[in-house]
Chains A and B, each alone.
Chain A
């Protein structure tokens, strides 16, 4: 029922970017009279036709509610929904599909853990460690939890390259540390964090670890058993899937012990006027009719990514970033923000005194879509003492010619502002 991916397995030497681009209808257009150069992939990725057609087929042919109907379409929708859960389980190498909870996105998944696991286990005097690199979605839920419980929030600082200072992390860890929540990859700078080390050190003091993988899963493999993280979250829309759907992975024993996050249909076993009993995992955390199409679409996105081999695309993206860095380094006033040794294909920069929002507008006039602003990571901006950066983020469907278009558009900014 899900479309089989047509993209063949590729290796780095034969990576055919034009063949990949043909899968993404949105890329075949002009914006402001110029060919679209979409470099805002860290905000949201574009969708291959395999995903779009899967959504279309669902709504045209078997749209139905799941888990309760006895009719044929309902069974078909339920099978597709649960088979997507299996795909996510395999994608993350989880131990069981009971450990895969569908949420609205990475943000909701983090809030779920903070409010269900956090409120159940955290008390006054406990400490939660996050980092200066985090997206607001991995800051605010913990701030709220600290306000509710009297726990304290601590931050792992970063160095001038935008890398976590692990010696400082070690100093922060102690017996009171209950939760460590860290992004796998920084959305503002592209830094890949040493999460395996972070997880092991947290476990050594008895803390639980949540990894925010929203920026990571489009670029790198995440094996939750090998990492031994307690929770891992990501969003579908950054992985070439639909918006409004995300994933929470949690170790079964932890999820089992956690109280429900929201009440409603599908998450109950029995409901009487005075008391309800709750459904088993994973349904306990999926109250109400879920985003069925989104889940099935996410399954198709995972099929797509699996078919093109993430190791090959990661290498291609790294080569693209190297090329972009080389070209950008020749622009006198361009200042790189985030120069970690280990990073993904994100080029965050400032340009002399030209404000990033002006850069964004001028680039848009050239058909080049980037993000300008604080990237929902205001502590990172504070750390570098800048209000904002311009950020070009690359996906495997971007090309060297598009890097050239970016560089030419940056030159135009300099021309306009003299």
Chain B
């Protein structure tokens, strides 16, 4: 049995209440929408990249606390990262919320607060929507991302 506080940790409640990097990025050169048809969660990611580096990143949209906090934490973690580093973190995060593999907590930093999602399979998509959208941007995707 899981305590609900394992899911809604203080850092998640905080990032839901005051999402960081929220709002349109005016000088973004990459923009992509993500949509979770089951929940109705939707977000748009804005990236400003130079060479291979994420110079700035923001998001807007609406969704549950898990999806908003996850996007907020993700954008915080992504600033200054190279595409390769971003992909590596995507894989780490994916493992964290879907597998029993031991996570690299140091590398994940605050993102580890979302580990509790694993115990709630119905909510994994909420946490991963922003990440799948970012992953698609990195791969050069241009059509909106739908979590299946």
Q: Does A9 count as interface, using CB distance less than 8 angstroms?
A: no
B64 & A358 in contact (Cβ 8 Å cutoff): yes
B13 & A416 in contact (Cβ 8 Å cutoff): yes
A416 & B64 in contact (Cβ 8 Å cutoff): no
> Which residues of B, 58-75, contact A by the 8 Å Cβ criterion?
62-66
Q: Does A355 count as interface, using CB distance less than 8 angstroms?
A: yes
Q: Within 8 Å CB of B63, what residues of A?
A: 355, 387
Expressed in whole angstroms, the Cα–Cα distance for A223 and B85 within the complex equals 66
Expressed in whole angstroms, the Cα–Cα distance for A357 and B39 within the complex equals 8
Known: A374-B40, A417-B13. Is A361-B123 also a contact (CB below 8 A)? Answer: yes
Expressed in whole angstroms, the Cα–Cα distance for A126 and B62 within the complex equals 39
- Number of contacting residues on B, CB 8 A? 23
A349 to chain B, nearest CB (A): 16
Closest to B10 in A: A418
Expressed in whole angstroms, the Cα–Cα distance for A349 and B6 within the complex equals 26
Interface residues as binary, B1-24 with A (CB distance below 8 Å gives 1, 0 otherwise): 111110110000100110000000
Expressed in whole angstroms, the Cα–Cα distance for A73 and B78 within the complex equals 68
Closest to B126 in A: A357
Q: Does A373 count as interface, using CB distance less than 8 angstroms?
A: yes
A355 & B65 in contact (Cβ 8 Å cutoff): yes
B39 & A418 in contact (Cβ 8 Å cutoff): no
B40 & A387 in contact (Cβ 8 Å cutoff): yes
Q: Does A281 count as interface, using CB distance less than 8 angstroms?
A: no
Interface residues as binary, A16-41 with B (CB distance below 8 Å gives 1, 0 otherwise): 00000000000000001100000000
B9 to chain A, nearest CB (A): 10
Q: Does A150 count as interface, using CB distance less than 8 angstroms?
A: no
Q: Within 8 Å CB of A33, what residues of B?
A: 1
Q: Does A362 count as interface, using CB distance less than 8 angstroms?
A: yes
Q: Within 8 Å CB of A365, what residues of B?
A: 2-4
B67 to chain A, nearest CB (A): 8
Closest to B4 in A: A365
A361 & B7 in contact (Cβ 8 Å cutoff): yes
A-B CB proximity, top 5 nearest: A355-B64, A357-B64, A365-B4, A387-B40, A358-B65
Chain A residues engaging chain B, CB cutoff 8 angstroms:
32-33, 354-358, 361-362, 365, 373-374, 381, 387-388, 412, 416-418
